[in-house]
Each structure stands twice: as C-alpha cells, then as structure tokens.
C-alpha cells in the first residue's frame, strides 16, 4: 500500500526559512534520511519517491501555496488511487499553538484554524487523516499572525526547531511501517 507524506509550506525562496515552511523542512529531512533522488514536479507539487519497509512512499511539497494545499493533495491521491487518507496520508505542518520545538501527532481533527489543513479537509471531504504538527510558537503583543508565520525563527529558536524537524521526520518514516496509534505513542 502506497503512502503519501505531505509537508506544507509556500514555494519560493522568500518563504524558504519561514515558520510556515517547517513542513517543507521535514520533507527535506526525510529525503536526506532515505537518500531519495531530486524531486520532480508533478501533481502541482515537488515529489520524490522511496521504498520504506516494502512500501512505496511519496514525499510531497505542494507548489500551490499554503491556503490551497488541498488541490495538490487531492491531485496526488487521485492519481495514485489512494482512497484511505486515514491510513495512506500523513500531513506535516506548522502549529502556532505549540511552543517552538515541540511536535504533536494526531490521527484526525479539525483544522485548528490552519488554512492549509482547512484546504485539505475541504478537498478530501474528511478530517480523518494523520498529521504531525511542529510547534512554531505564538506571536507576542500585536504582531499580526500572517506576519508572524511568514517570519524567520530567532537564532535561539533554530536548534529547537531543528530538533523538532528531525523528530517529525523520524515519526514520518515510522508511519510507513507502523500503525499510526503506535507512532503517536512513541513520539507524543
């Protein structure tokens, strides 16, 4: 059974190092750990493939921009004929409700106000798909949310987020060979 691991972010150099792009960072980390080839453009995404524990795994970074990520996820799932997002899809993304450096795995749930997740839920017609949330902290004072998620991490935060990205990649690889509830137990 094929697996689709999607990291959310925005395409373009200007967004590369922003808080909103930690999902892309995780996909890059997974790619390094699995020694996958350079990604190719398809399904409105950058996609690389690997085999993990006898399963074909697709690592996906949508090129659609965050707020319409669901279009790319739906295109990939349709092309691959994946019809069980609760078993075949894993989405990795930033979460302002978690402190910088924390990760949290969930089997399903609402968007929590995250527009990328909202788009995926809308395009799939279900909230039932596993996800890994990477904490990026919450803005202080009157910093607008959009400005915050499109900002870079402070130098002191980089080691924390780096560790979180590594752990999210480890959890994602484990998802390819272990039932997700067990992955949650190991990483939450």
List pLDDT tens digits, range 120-173.
Answer: 999 999 999 999 999 999 988 888 998 999 999 999 999 999 999 999 999 999
Tokens representing 46 are 């950058």
Comparing C-alpha atoms, which of 134, 138, 135, 117 is closest to residue 126?
117
The confidence band for 1, taking pLDDT boundaries of 50, 70 and 90, is: confident
Catalytic residue (choose from 20, 35, 114, 138): 20
The confidence band for 95, taking pLDDT boundaries of 50, 70 and 90, is: very high
Q: What is the pLDDT of residues 14-63, one digit of tens each?
A: 999 999 999 999 999 999 999 998 899 999 999 999 999 888 999 999 99
**65 annotated ligand binder:** yes
CATH number, domain at 115? 3.40.50.1470
The confidence band for 181, taking pLDDT boundaries of 50, 70 and 90, is: very high
30 and 132 Cβ atoms separated by less than 8 Å: no
pLDDT of 92 reads 98
For residues 58-73, average pLDDT: 95
**Count of domains in the chain?**
1
Tokens representing 36 are 């996958």
Rounded Cα distance, 71 and 140, in Å: 32
Rounded Cα distance, 148 and 45, in Å: 25
pLDDT of 140 reads 84
Rounded Cα distance, 180 and 83, in Å: 17
53 is catalytic: no
Q: What is the pLDDT of residues 98-109, one digit of tens each?
A: 999 999 999 999
Domain carrying residue 140: 3-187
Rounded Cα distance, 53 and 139, in Å: 40
pLDDT of 37 reads 81
**Residue-averaged pLDDT of the chain:** 94
């Amino acid at each position: 059974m094929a697996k689709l691991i999607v990291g959310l972010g925005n395409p373009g150099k200007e967004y590369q190092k922003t808080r909103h792009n930690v999902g892309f960072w995780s996909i890059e980390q997974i790619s390094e750990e699995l020694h996958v080839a350079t990604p190719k453009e398809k399904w409105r995404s950058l996609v690389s493939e690997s085999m993990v524990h006898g399963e074909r795994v697709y690592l996906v970074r949508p090129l659609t921009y965050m707020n319409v990520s669901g279009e790319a996820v739906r295109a990939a799932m349709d092309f691959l004929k994946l019809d069980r997002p609760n078993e075949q899809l894993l989405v990795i993304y930033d979460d302002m409700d978690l402190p910088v450096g924390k990760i949290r795995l969930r089997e399903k749930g609402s968007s929590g106000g995250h527009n990328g997740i909202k788009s995926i839920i809308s395009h799939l017609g279900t909230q039932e798909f596993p996800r890994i949330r990477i904490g990026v902290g919450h803005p202080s004072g009157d910093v607008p949310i959009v400005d915050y998620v499109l900002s870079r991490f402070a130098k002191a935060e980089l080691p924390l987020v780096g560790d979180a990205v590594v752990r999210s990649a480890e959890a994602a690889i484990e998802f390819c060979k272990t039932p997700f509830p067990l992955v949650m137990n190991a990483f939450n």
